[in-house]
Amino acid sequence: MTENRRAAPRCAVLVGAYTSGKTTLLEAMLHTAGATRRPGSVEQGTALGDTSREARDRHMSVEPNFAHTRFLEDPWAIIDCPGTVELAYDSRCALMAADMAVVLAEADPDKAITLAPLFKFLDDHAIPHVLFINKMDKANTPVREVMAALQSVSSRPLVLRQVPIRENERVTGYVDLVSERAYRYREGAPSDLVQMPETVAERESEAREAMLESLADLDDSLLTQLLEDVVPPPAELYSRLTEDVRRDLVVPVMLGSALNDNGVTRLWKALRHETPEPGAAAERLGAPAAAGTAGESLIASVIKTLHLPQAGKLSLARIWQGALKDGAQIAGQRAGLYRLHGADLSKLTSAAAGELVALGRVEPLRTGDLIAGGQRVAEPAIAWPQPPAPVYSLALEPEKRADEVKLTTALAKLSEEDPALIGEHETTTGELVLSGQGEQHLAIALSRLKTRFNVAARAQTPDTAYRESIRKGTRKHTRFKRQTGGHGQFADIQIEVAPRPRGSGFAFDDRIVGGAVPRSYIPAVEAGAQDGLQSGPLGFPVVDVAVTLVDGQYHAVDSSEQAFRIAGRMAIAEALPECEPVLLEPVDHVTISVPQSMTSKVHGLIAARRGQILGFQGRDDWDGWDAVEAYIPAAELSDMIQELRSLTMGVGFFERRLSHLQELTGKLAERVMAQQPSQTAPANGQR
Ligand SMILES: Nc1nc2c(ncn2[C@@H]2O[C@H](COP(=O)(O)OP(=O)(O)O)[C@@H](O)[C@H]2O)c(=O)[nH]1
Ligand SMILES: [Mg+2]
C-alpha cells in the first residue's frame, strides 16, 4: 500500500453473540482511532450506539449502529450489529455489503456453538472475517481450548495470531505471532512493547508453528520453506495472511478487551492491512455485471431501511461505483443524501465509491436492492439473502378501534425496515397476525409501534385454524315456508350428506328428476349448503363433506332462489348434528435444524408436542447439522421456538408448512370447543 494513496472508504461489520461486547468494541475502536476523547459506555448509556428507546429499555442493541471514522487517514464505516439470534437478519444484510466482518467471541468454549450459523453464513458467501476473542481481562480458560471449540464450528481454518501473556492468572498482554514481539496491555492506551517473558516462549513457538502450518497448507512456496527449515520473513507472512483472509481461506484470531481498549489498535492494524478494497464486496453482489457498459454510472446496494420520525424513509446504501450527489434521481425520485452516525443524521453534498450513505425519501427502494444508473435492478444476477422463515407469531388488535388502518400502515413500514417481520391478515381466522423470529423480536416491534408510530396494539397467541367434519352421513328433509304480507317464500328439499376423504373438500351433486326442483334453483341450494358449512355444530368451518340434492318441491309463485338458499342452509344445520361431527386440527410438516449432538433432544421435544417424527438426516449443506422432519399439530408450534432455543443454546430453528388436517378427540378437543366463543346458534335460530 503506498502512503499517498487515497483509500476508498471501507466497511467493517461487527457481529457475534449477544453480549460478546460488539457495542463496547465499537466505542473502543472509535476511541483508539482518535474519533472520541473517551470511550462511551454501554453500561452507563453513553455509547454512540443503542440510543433508541427499545435498545435502552433492554440494555442491548436492537438495530445496527452505524459509525464513521478514520484510522491512520483511512476512512472507515463500522456497523455494530445486534447479537440476538432473533435479529440475525439485520446482521446478514449488513454483512452482504461488508468488506470485512469482525466476529466477536468470548473466551468460553461452551458458547462456541452459538457462532455456528454466523460462520456458515460468512463462509457460504465467502465474506472475509477475523475473529476477536473479547473479554480477555476476565478469561481464565486456556485460549487453546477456546480455539478448539471455535474451530469445530468454522469450516475455515482459524489461525491464532496472538498468544496471551498471563501473570497471576490474569492476562496482562500478548505476543504477536508474526512479528514475535511481546506487548503489555495498558488500560485505555496503546500497549507497551516489552521483552518476551520466558514463561510464554514455549507456547509461543507452538502456536507460531500452528499458524505457519495453516498458511503453508494454502501456499506451496511457504510449505517448501518450512520443510527446509527456512524462517519466512514477517513481510511474507503478512502478505500471505492478507491474501488468504481476503479470499476467506483462513480466519485470523485476535485477543483483547474492548472494555479496556486492549488489543484494539492491533485489531485496527489487521483490518487496515487485510481488509480488501470495496471492489471485492461489489463483486460478491454482482455489481460489476449490473454496470454493463456504463463505466462511471452509479451502482449501489441498499443494506438497511429505516423510517425515522423526522427524516422519514432512509435507505442505507453502500456505493460501489460512481459518485452520488445530493438530489440525484434514484428510482425516479429525488434522493436526499445523508450520513448516519449513531443517532446523528448529517447532510452530504456528494459521496464516492466505498461510502456508506443514507438516501432520503426514495419510496420504491427496498433492503437488498441493487441500484444501477439511478434505477433499481429488477432482477439482480446475485440474489439477496431471504429473510428467515417465521417461527413465532402474535395476533394483533389496535387498542383503539379507529387505529385499524394506522396499525396496518405502521406494520408495513416495520416490515420494510426488517423484512424478517411479516404482518398479514390471516384469511382462515380473520386475525391480523404478526410473525417473526421470537418473543423478543415481536416485543421490540410492538414497542416501536407505540414509540415511533403512536399506535398501541394488544397481542395474543393467534387462533389455530380448527375445522370440523363428519364421520357418517344422513338424509334430511327440510321445508322453508313463510307467509309475509303479499306473496310468501317456499322451498322444500331433501338432501343427503356424506363424509368425504380427508383433504378432498366440498362436493355438491343432484339427483333431481322431473323438475321436482327447477334447474335454476339448484345452484341456490348448493350456495345455501355452503352457507351452512361455514360453521358446524362444533363451531368451526366444516370440510370434506358431500351434499346431494335428491328431491324437493316448489311453488310457482312463492319459490325463489333466496328461499332455496335458506332451505339449503337449514337442511345442513339440521343434518350435521346427526352425522357424528368431529373436530379437525391443522398439522404442519416441520423441519427442525440442529447440531447433530442435539438431535436426540429434539426427538423428545417433538414427542412432548404430540408430534410424529418422519425421519432425520444430516443436512447436505451443513456439516455436523441434522434436519429432523416431523408432523406436529399447529397448536403445539406457537411457543416451540422458545423451547427449541433453550435446548440448543439458541441455534436451533425450524421451517413449517401446513400439511393436513387430523381428527382431534377426547380432552384436548373438549378444551378447544370450550374456548370457542362463536358456537353456532341452533339450526332453527338462524332466521
Ligand atoms: N470484562 C469485560 N466486559 C466487557 C468487555 N466488552 C464488553 N463488556 C461488557 O459486556 C456487556 C455487553 O457488552 P456490549 O458491548 O453491549 O455487547 P454486545 O451485545 O455484543 O453489543 C457490557 O456489560 C459490557 O460492559 C470486555 O472486554 N471485558
Ligand atoms: Mg450491542
pLDDT of residue 187: 84
Which of 114, 259, 440 has most ligand 1 atoms within 8 Å of CB, for mutation? Answer: 259
Closest CA to 298 of 380, 230, 379, 354: 354
Q: Is the CB of 135 under 6 A from ligand 1?
A: yes
pLDDT tens digit sequence for 53-73? 888 888 888 999 999 999 999
pLDDT of residue 675: 84
Q: What nine digits make up the cell of 480?
A: 322453508
Rounded to the nearest 5°, which phi and psi values hold at 316? -75, 125
Which of 42, 56, 131 has most ligand 1 atoms within 8 Å of CB, for mutation? Answer: 42
> Closest Cα to atom 23, ligand 1: which residue?
43
Confidence of residue 44 (pLDDT cuts 50, 70, 90): confident
Mean pLDDT, range 311-333, rounded to an integer: 94
Confidence of residue 3 (pLDDT cuts 50, 70, 90): very low
> Closest Cα to atom 12, ligand 1: which residue?
19
Does residue 294 have a pLDDT over 70?
A: no
pLDDT of residue 35: 81
Q: What nine digits make up the cell of 208?
A: 507460531
Q: What nine digits make up the cell of 352?
A: 464516492
- Are the C-beta atoms of 139 and 167 separated by less than 8 Å? no
Mean pLDDT, range 507-523, rounded to an integer: 95
Q: Is the CB of 257 under 6 A from ligand 1?
A: yes
Mean pLDDT, range 565-569, rounded to an integer: 98
Amino acid identity of residue 484, one-letter, is T
258: CA distance to ligand 1 center in Å? 7
Does residue 49 have a pLDDT over 90?
A: no
Does residue 677 have a pLDDT over 80?
A: no
> What is the side-by-side strand order in the sheet with 10-16?
65-71, 74-80, 10-16, 100-106, 129-134, 251-255, 158-160
Please report the atom of ligand 1 found closest to the CA of residue 257. Answer: 27
Rounded to the nearest 5°, which phi and psi values hold at 643? -70, -40
> Closest Cα to atom 13, ligand 1: which residue?
21
Percent of the chain with pLDDT over 70: 97
Q: At what angle do helices 198-216 and 220-227 cross, to 10 degrees?
A: 130
387: CA distance to ligand 2 center in Å? 21
Closest CA to 436 of 386, 385, 391: 391
pLDDT of residue 680: 43
Q: Rounded CA gap, 577 and 476, in Å? A: 11
- Average confidence score pLDDT of the chain: 93
54: CA distance to ligand 2 center in Å? 12
Q: Which domains does the chain have, with CATH numbers?
A: 10-276 (3.40.50.300), 289-376 (2.40.30.10), 392-460 (3.30.70.870), 468-579 (3.30.230.10), 584-674 (3.30.70.240)
Which of 14, 19, 43, 264 has most ligand 1 atoms within 8 Å of CB, for mutation? Answer: 19
Amino acid identity of residue 626, one-letter, is D
Q: Is the CB of 24 under 6 A from ligand 1?
A: yes
Does residue 86 have a pLDDT over 60?
A: yes
Does residue 2 have a pLDDT over 60?
A: no
pLDDT tens digit sequence for 396-426? 999 999 999 999 999 999 999 999 999 999 9
24: CA distance to ligand 1 center in Å? 6
- C-alpha triplet 380, 251, 288: angle, nearest 5°: 20
20: CA distance to ligand 1 center in Å? 6
pLDDT of residue 310: 84
Q: Rounded CA gap, 501 and 24, in Å? A: 61
Strand-pair partners of 184:
173, 192
- C-alpha triplet 112, 115, 118: angle, nearest 5°: 165
- Residue 74 vs residues 5, 189, 273: alpha-carbon distances, Å: 10, 20, 11
pLDDT tens digit sequence for 463-496? 999 999 999 999 999 999 998 777 889 999 999 9
